[in-house]
Structure 1
Amino acid sequence: MAGGTVHHLIQTGTVHSLTLHAGHPAHAGSLPAPHDWPRADQVDPVALGVRRSRRFGNETGLPPYVRRDVDSKLDALVITADVMGGLLVVTGPALSGTSRTAWEAVRRNTPTDTRIFAPSPGTDLRALPALLRAAEDKSSYALWLDELDGHIGENGLDVNLLAQLTALHVPVIATMRDEVYDTHRFGRHPASRLLGGADTVELTSLWSEAERTRLAAADDPRLVDAVRWRGDSGVTEFLALGPELWDEWRRARRAAAHPHGHRLVRAAVDLARCGIEGDIPQSLLRGVIEVYGAVPTGKPFGEALLWAYKKRHDVTGLLVRGSTSTRWRPYGSLVADAARSPESEPVPDDVWILAIDAAKSDPGLPFTALAEAFRGILLARAERGDVDAMTALAALALDLEDVEAAMEWYGAAARLGDARAGFELGMLLAEHRSEVEAIPYLEAAAAKGLHGAASVLADLYQRRCAHWLWVAADRGEPEALSRLKGPLSPQSMIPPPGTS
């Protein structure tokens, strides 16, 4: 690629805007002129087959590259190919990052003004050597073939064409999936000789400890998310699948798609956003789904579960099975993306409440962490005068067995005119402090027509009446004793003398 010799990089299956040939494969004589090929420092890696990563903020198009353990070997091979020409193939499982790893090696080890040609699969490449020999621009050139199997054959890359390109010192950098490489490399496949003469570098989806250490040092939010949320999947799988899973899930909300499945996954994602990073009971998911509205007709839960659990790209589903057949987790990229997406709505209060209620009896759920997280959210809203947040804080305080805090928050809401809060405060005061203190709140609730308030107030008055009649009778007032025998004061409701 250097020293004024002709070098070209061609990529399979991907097309740069300057070299795109839509429709039918290109024929000999229709290849773009070498001087029109984009320079290496102008190429969009996505046009070379690198998968996009999700962007919600000011991130660049791709997250920073994290060096792989094979990079040293790959660098040496690219440097050699840059000088001598030849075929270099990076192989690996699907979504293992072969395109990004190969391209970063080219970018590191070739001149920035190298001209890159990335034809569509099936492009007729037979005229390429003649085209390069006739080029007036004596820049470096390179051929990049992403998914090489789409570029080999009678009119594509074969042993003869590779020999001509090698004579021109043009390196050919290619990628292939492991199983596709094995199919073409071994046995009597026509491409066996071609691949047999290539240098190869094998990439794996599993990252070594050293690679994970380098990943952990990155500060790009997408890489930080990969460290935290990738679960059992590989780093590159997480980064590559994230955008697809997010888009599929968001589009599933349409009535003609999978609205029930969408809600099921949303339930899991929202619960994870609350703080349940482990397995989620299926029963809790069922309950949370109802928070989002009526369940779509004709979409049973089992069907929604099968859709959500189905593996995409043989890697993961939108939901991941937990430790048992009735416990599930959302795939981590969905949680990470929901936390960062400006489109995401806050987790509804009812979801928090259901999660906390479930955690009371399920040791596998983080009750204290959920309660404290919800409390923090509610406090911020309560400080802005949000009455619903105040009543929720009161209910949460009762969950934490803090009656005084519950009365404080119900009182704050009652002072802002919330009749239900006043009623709940009255009930707590009557039970834990003083019936006398409870009466004004219960009367206010009854006066506002709150269902049940009048009956509770009547019972309280009846108990108070019985109490004072007993006091009066104890003091020798004959009328009090006769009234205690009346129908309005059943014996079961008369407390022992001296109680209040």
Structure 2
Amino acid sequence: MVTPRYGDRASDHFVASDGRSITLRMWRRWLACLEADDSGGIAEVWEVLAKVALDSGIPGWPEGDLTHKPDNGRTTIDRITNTLSDATVDGPVIQVGHVGSFHQNRHVAGDNVDLTGNTINGQVIGVQTVHHAPPTAHDWRPVREVGPIEFGVRPTRRVHLRDAPPYAERDRDRELAEWLAHTGLVLILAKPLAGTSHTAWNAVTQMDGHRLYAPEPGTDLRTLPADLKNERGKYVLWLDDITDHLGAGGLTHSLLGRLTALGVVVLATMDPDAHYARRTERVLAAAHTVELEREWSDREFARLLPFVQDGCVAEIYEHGDRAHVAAHFAFGHLLRDEWHRPGTRTAHPRGHLLVRAAVELAGCGVRTPVPESLLRRLCEGYAAEADGVAKESYEEAFAWATAEHFGIPGFSLLAPARGPGFWRAHGALVAGEWPVTDEVRERILRETQDEEDIDSDDLERSYCDVLRPRAESGDLAAMVRLGRLAPKFTEALTWYRRAADAGSVAAAAELGQLLSELDGSEAEAVKYLEAAARGGHHPSAAVLGRFLLDRARHWLGVAGAPEATALRSLLDPPEATVGAGTDGPPAEPAPFRIDYSPPVDYSPQAWYLPGGSLSEPPSRPRENTPGSAPG
């Protein structure tokens, strides 16, 4: 004796009194195909199935309480049950109820999986799944009311979720708009994080008068034609990643045909590789495709320029990677969080220093990738001053710093560029947030003097641009630094004079040295050297003493009087007396010159402290160094 037990519409079990189960796989497969192809006639099929079941000797088929058809023609389920009773089962029992697209007229408290009165020697699993139908035509929203975040565009910041990036025109926008002017399926083929959602949103918002529906993955789409059949209007169906909307209950070739006949435009995205693998499927073969590259072209990148007032756009435009523009918008702030996270320094102390070296190079004006050897040299210099670095080897630090984040190749704290061995800090890390002190800039200048891949003159010019506003505001240290780095000799003299006249010992010492190189400026040189010497700068005192000694010898020899000769003899041994054994006054001493080599340390503090040698005051080759005092 076989006793039928009513489940839901997709129930495929009849339970016999002795516990046997009859599975109607053939019916299930046929009904699934029919449901996918025709959402309106499924109720009639169930009526036929009931008649077949009765004619086959299966009594008790639930004739009245399976379904009823309301005025709109949609099948409505009043009650969902899944029952096993009066049975003994040795083994697991799995009862699954699957309800497709439905509109329930009222809440039914009796929905249940009922196992009353059974003896079950095994695991019991009861599952009921409900897929809700899409909204009616009146629920579709005007395209102008749908924002980019709702469309799937990721926010550029964690806090203000409404902060979607501004839209810069892509090269394929015009082609996409032309296809969207017609009904049918339009597929945007692109790898993840190529900017497809933003491109699609921009295209849809240009479709005046259209209304949009963006279903969640797995939503049953089969009732859409019935919903829109008697509603005049222009509609766009947006399927973000169409692979989540194919198959049973999703978009099929026949459903696409009915939607197209109703004037619906279907816009979707798909991975190019997935599309290639499934390109022969009828629904995909009918699509118009537009390919969107992840790497931005020169024209596309240039279109960001009008939006640089936006901080996120500015950091991408100045420091970004064209291959990861959309990824930078979406995840740049998260990568920056990883860099600043306190736990990062604890877990990867040497790795943090390695990335810091790249960040500071960029902050000093290095716009090109740098060799790993320079990063390692800077990192090791930092490590000598830091604690806890020994627990992480350089190899471990480098592996961590170059590891990809968020599953995006090349999206790492240290980004690869320009071939093997060259790296740069990711643009999200160098957006002006990391402080670059004068000491850091001077260290970078020292370390990059011999690097062929880095233009040290550019670094100096960049540093001068930073120093000038500070010097103009009266910062004496900035004046001294600017005097040392100024590309022109006359500019250097100007800044040194301003600082020395304001009381800077370092500026007075440097200016005295520079003036000593100019014919006719000896008196002014003595003035500033004496000021530096009085301020405690011993090298200037030594230079001044030697200069005055040479001048004393000269003028005593010129005097020729017995008193002058006596004084002269006190300064030099007899054999070294200038003019001895000759007639007439001694020759004029050679012009005052002091030879010194360029400094190793560019900071004023490194050389103006008392006790330094004559070779310490720094001097850098300058453009158009004159041989006489400037006018």
Q: Same fold (TM over 0.5)?
A: yes
Aligned-partner SS, 2:366? coil
2:182 — aligned with what? Answer: 80
Structure with greater helix percent: 1
Which letter maps to 1:241? H
In structure 2, which of residues 181, 185, 193 is the aligned counterpart of residue 95 of structure 1? 193
2:269 — aligned with what? Answer: 175
Aligned partners of 2:214 and 2:238 also within 8 Å: yes
Distance apart, 1:378 and its partner CA = 1.9
Distance apart, 1:315 and its partner CA = 4.6
1:15 — aligned with what? Answer: none
In structure 1, which of residues 129, 135, 146 is the aligned counterpart of residue 224 of structure 2? 129
Give per-residue Cα distances to partners, 1:451-491, cap 9 Å, x unaligned. xx3476357537745874787587654576367569xxx99
Matches within 5 A, 1:418-429: 418-428=504-514
In structure 1, which of residues 417, 420, 426 is the aligned counterpart of residue 503 of structure 2? 417
Q: Does 1:42 align with 2:139?
A: no
In structure 2, which of residues 343, 361, 371 is the aligned counterpart of residue 256 of structure 1? 343
Separation of aligned partners in 2, 1:354 and 1:128:
69
Aligned-partner SS, 1:132? helix
In structure 1, which of residues 289, 300, 314 is the aligned counterpart of residue 409 of structure 2? 314
Aligned partners of 1:319 and 1:328 also within 8 Å: yes
Distance apart, 1:145 and its partner CA = 1.0
2:242 — aligned with what? Answer: 148
Separation of aligned partners in 2, 1:382 and 1:373:
15
Aligned-partner SS, 1:252? helix
1:366 — aligned with what? Answer: 455
In structure 2, which of residues 284, 309, 318 is the aligned counterpart of residue 195 of structure 1? 284
Q: 1:277 to 1:458 in 2, by over 3 A?
A: closer
Distance apart, 1:244 and its partner CA = 1.5
Between 248-257 and 164-173, report the one with greater CA deviation. 164-173
Separation of aligned partners in 2, 1:480 and 1:253:
69
Distance apart, 1:382 and its partner CA = 1.1
Distance apart, 1:441 and its partner CA = 1.8
Separation of aligned partners in 2, 1:139 and 1:292:
68
Distance apart, 1:193 and its partner CA = 4.1
Aligned-partner SS, 2:267? strand
Q: 1:369 to 1:218 in 2, by over 3 A?
A: closer
Q: 1:153 to 1:287 in 2, by over 3 A?
A: same
Give per-residue Cα distances to partners, 1:344-384, cap 9 Å, x unaligned. 36643334434444564445433443333332332222111
Distance apart, 1:439 and its partner CA = 4.6
Structure with greater strand percent: 2
User: What TM-score comes out, normalization by structure 2 length?
Assistant: 0.56
Distance apart, 1:42 and its partner CA = 0.6
Aligned-partner SS, 1:47? coil
Separation of aligned partners in 2, 1:181 and 1:355:
50
1:384 — aligned with what? Answer: 473
2:617 — aligned with what? Answer: none
Between 44-53 and 29-38, report the one with greater CA deviation. 29-38
2:483 — aligned with what? Answer: 394
Aligned partners of 1:145 and 1:151 also within 8 Å: yes
2:328 — aligned with what? Answer: 241
Distance apart, 1:138 and its partner CA = 5.5
Q: 1:291 to 1:387 in 2, by over 3 A?
A: farther
Instruction: Percent identity, please.
Output: 28
Separation of aligned partners in 2, 1:269 and 1:366:
17
Aligned-partner SS, 1:378? helix
Aligned partners of 1:426 and 1:441 also within 8 Å: no
In structure 2, which of residues 553, 564, 569 is the aligned counterpart of residue 481 of structure 1? 569
Which letter maps to 1:413? A
Distance apart, 1:208 and its partner CA = 6.8
Q: Does 1:457 align with 2:541?
A: yes
Aligned partners of 1:429 and 1:437 also within 8 Å: no
Separation of aligned partners in 2, 1:352 and 1:372:
12
Distance apart, 1:41 and its partner CA = 1.1
Separation of aligned partners in 2, 1:475 and 1:153:
118
Q: 1:102 to 1:389 in 2, by over 3 A?
A: same
Distance apart, 1:65 and its partner CA = 4.4
Separation of aligned partners in 2, 1:437 and 1:215:
55
Which letter maps to 2:215? A
Report 1 or 2 for greater relative contact order, CA contacts < 8 Å, sequence distance ≥ 6: 1
Which letter maps to 1:310? A
1:117 — aligned with what? Answer: 214
Q: 1:214 to 1:229 in 2, by over 3 A?
A: closer
How many residue pairs are counted as aligned between the two chains?
436
Separation of aligned partners in 1, 2:539 and 2:436:
36
Matches within 5 A, 1:327-366: 327-331=422-426, 338=431, 344=433, 347-357=436-446, 360-366=449-455
Q: 1:428 to 1:287 in 2, by over 3 A?
A: farther
Give per-residue Cα distances to partners, 1:212-270, cap 9 Å, x unaligned. 28955973337788777655x34xx3244244134313432223125655554454345
2:23 — aligned with what? Answer: none
Distance apart, 1:422 and its partner CA = 3.6
Query: How big is the alpha-carbon RMSD for the aligned residues of Structure 1 and Structure 2?
Result: 4.7
Aligned partners of 2:336 and 2:428 also within 8 Å: no
Separation of aligned partners in 2, 1:389 and 1:292:
28
Aligned-partner SS, 1:310? coil
Kindly name which structure, 1 or 2, has the bigger radius of gyration based on alpha carbons.
2
Aligned partners of 2:530 and 2:544 also within 8 Å: no
Q: 1:420 to 1:159 in 2, by over 3 A?
A: same
Aligned-partner SS, 1:143? strand
Q: Which consecutive unaligned segments of at least 5 residues does structure 2 have?
A: 1-127, 578-586, 593-631
Q: Which consecutive unaligned segments of at least 5 residues does structure 1 have?
A: 1-24, 187-191, 447-452
Give per-residue Cα distances to partners, 1:391-424, cap 9 Å, x unaligned. 1112214xx473x644543343233333333444
Between 163-172 and 176-185, report the one with greater CA deviation. 163-172
Separation of aligned partners in 2, 1:417 and 1:468:
29
Q: Does 1:445 align with 2:524?
A: no
Q: 1:150 to 1:295 in 2, by over 3 A?
A: farther
Distance apart, 1:146 and its partner CA = 0.6
Separation of aligned partners in 2, 1:416 and 1:46:
57
Q: 1:241 to 1:327 in 2, by over 3 A?
A: same
Aligned partners of 1:159 and 1:193 also within 8 Å: yes
Distance apart, 1:172 and its partner CA = 2.8
Aligned-partner SS, 1:200? strand
Q: 1:393 to 1:228 in 2, by over 3 A?
A: closer
Between 175-184 and 138-147, report the one with greater CA deviation. 138-147
Separation of aligned partners in 1, 2:376 and 2:498:
34
Distance apart, 1:35 and its partner CA = 3.5
Distance apart, 1:48 and its partner CA = 2.0
Q: 1:162 to 1:47 in 2, by over 3 A?
A: same
1:11 — aligned with what? Answer: none
Aligned-partner SS, 2:289? strand
Aligned partners of 2:194 and 2:293 also within 8 Å: yes
Aligned partners of 1:422 and 1:441 also within 8 Å: yes
Aligned partners of 2:165 and 2:329 also within 8 Å: no
Separation of aligned partners in 2, 1:292 and 1:33:
65
